[in-house]
Structure 1
Amino acid sequence: MTSRTRRFATVLAALFLGVQLHAAPASAASITANQLLAGLTVRAEHTTGYNRDLFPHWVDADGDSCDTREEILIAESTTSASVGAACKVLSGSWTSWYDGATWTNPSDVDIDHVVALKEAWDSGAHAWTTAKRTRYANDLDYAWSLDAITDNVNASKSDKDPAQWLPPLAATHCSYAIHWLAVKHRWQLSIDTTEKSTLTSLLAGSCGQQSIPEPPPGS
């Protein structure tokens, strides 16, 4: 099974840890949130041609019978997940950091692409190969790419960027903005002008000065 850091402790801990809400993967260099934002290309989105099937997802990349969804459910359960035949996760305990809700039935949990597939397409992935889009859609190598969250919260988010949607918990907005920027930096995705304006506001003050390990490049 692909190894991922278990990233949740308790809801209260999550609310007070700010950008350290989830531990970022180790990296040789650090970068601030403001630097992440400044390093992204600003351009208009490519808004035609998207189809979800262009991003094959929930694959079993390492051949252990666990697809990406099951890998995330197992890794992010704060109790030992119950796993049935063909690596089907039957139960566990998941805390959705977007809204603070805790769930024990995996059917109540979606796996969120922090930067949604359509947003990725519009921001540069339209020019990628299918193989690269598959790696993006199943990115188990970077802890901030995918999150187990409440299903209806994920439905509310859909393919929106931070100018259009933010998590219900206001206390998470700084962390969410930094996670968003980290994923865009990792995959060299662009931002549009409205998105940049919103992110600039979210990073105001100490939020933008937060330092994280620089995200490794996606490939």
Structure 2
Amino acid sequence: MPPRVRAAAPVVIGLIPLFSLAGAGPAHAGDSSEPLQLGAARVTTGKALLGKLTVRAEHRGGYQRSKFKHWIDVDNDCQDTRSEVLQRESQVKVAFYSARQCAVLTGRWTSSYDGLVVTQADQLEVDHVVALSEAWKSGGSTWKKARRTRYANDLGFAWTLEPVTRKSNQDKVDQDPAEWLPAQGRCAYARHWVAIKYRWRLSIDTAEKRALSGLLSGDCGLLKLKVPARAQ
């Protein structure tokens, strides 16, 4: 899978700060216009998409991470979902651990939650932007096992899975936007969140909607994006 083309930047090693202004996220394909890999031609805004989400109290209890099987090798090419995402998001051609080219060793990624540039794959975690437990609480508890697996390995929508630094992912854990926000890129994060919830027909609670409404006020909420294809 060829790497995504991005603007050239100096070579870096390990982690370096890329942005210092809170809320000014790193460049990410689709942040200013539309998500990738969508078949639908209809255009909307983050604010309008938020209005289409059902507001409902969260379902409590019964969640186990093992109920969402991941990472799997969807197309039997020896590269699991994590490896596929790392290749897709790298700004340069990735290197692999072995000649079989199954697990990614190095590349160049920008962690959108904190603006750090990472060149070693083992310093990254691939985050479910809408965490597995959050999906469970907002509709996933009623899904069959196969649908939960599809959600946990959603390569059909580029905003669902995000390579980020381990620290930022561990700071976030399974919190929603009413409980946690990234240090920067908050507008993009809110747009990604509502798009994922719309795609998977997941609900939001009242506190979550209040937080998202604030994030999607003003110019952020008016940025155009393609209506996400509904997941099956």
Task: Using structure 2 for the length normalisation, give the TM-score.
Answer: 0.86
CA distance in 1, matches of 2:118, 2:31: 23
| CA spacing shift, 1:82–1:130, aligned 2, 3 Å | same
- Is the Cα contact below 8 Å between 1:99 and 1:168 reproduced in 2? yes
Could you tell me which runs of 5 or more consecutive residues in structure 1 were left unpaired when the two chains were aligned. Answer: none
- The equivalent residue for 2:46 is 33
- Following superposition, the deviation at residue 76 of structure 1 comes to 1.2
Residue 92 of structure 2 is aligned to residue 79 of structure 1 = yes
Could you tell me which runs of 5 or more consecutive residues in structure 2 were left unpaired when the two chains were aligned. Answer: 10-17
- Following superposition, the deviation at residue 89 of structure 1 comes to 1.0
Bigger helix share: 1
- CA deviations 1:67-113 (Å, max 9, x no partner) are 00011111111111001335111111111111110111111100010
- Is the Cα contact below 8 Å between 1:41 and 1:191 reproduced in 2? yes
- CA deviations 1:176-201 (Å, max 9, x no partner) are 00000000000000000000000011
- The equivalent residue for 1:94 is 109
- Following superposition, the deviation at residue 47 of structure 1 comes to 1.4
- Is the Cα contact below 8 Å between 2:47 and 2:217 reproduced in 1? no
Instruction: Name the SS for the 1:104 alignment partner.
Output: strand
CA distance in 2, matches of 1:63, 1:165: 36
- The equivalent residue for 1:140 is 155
| CA spacing shift, 1:8–1:117, aligned 2, 3 Å | farther
| CA spacing shift, 1:48–1:108, aligned 2, 3 Å | same
Percent identity of equivalent pairs: 47
- Following superposition, the deviation at residue 7 of structure 1 comes to 7.3
- Is the Cα contact below 8 Å between 1:25 and 1:213 reproduced in 2? no
- Following superposition, the deviation at residue 21 of structure 1 comes to 7.8
CA distance in 1, matches of 2:5, 2:50: 24
| CA spacing shift, 1:7–1:117, aligned 2, 3 Å | farther
Alignment map for 1:144-155 (pairs within 5 Å): 144-155=159-170
| CA spacing shift, 1:84–1:15, aligned 2, 3 Å | closer
Instruction: Name the SS for the 1:215 alignment partner.
Output: coil
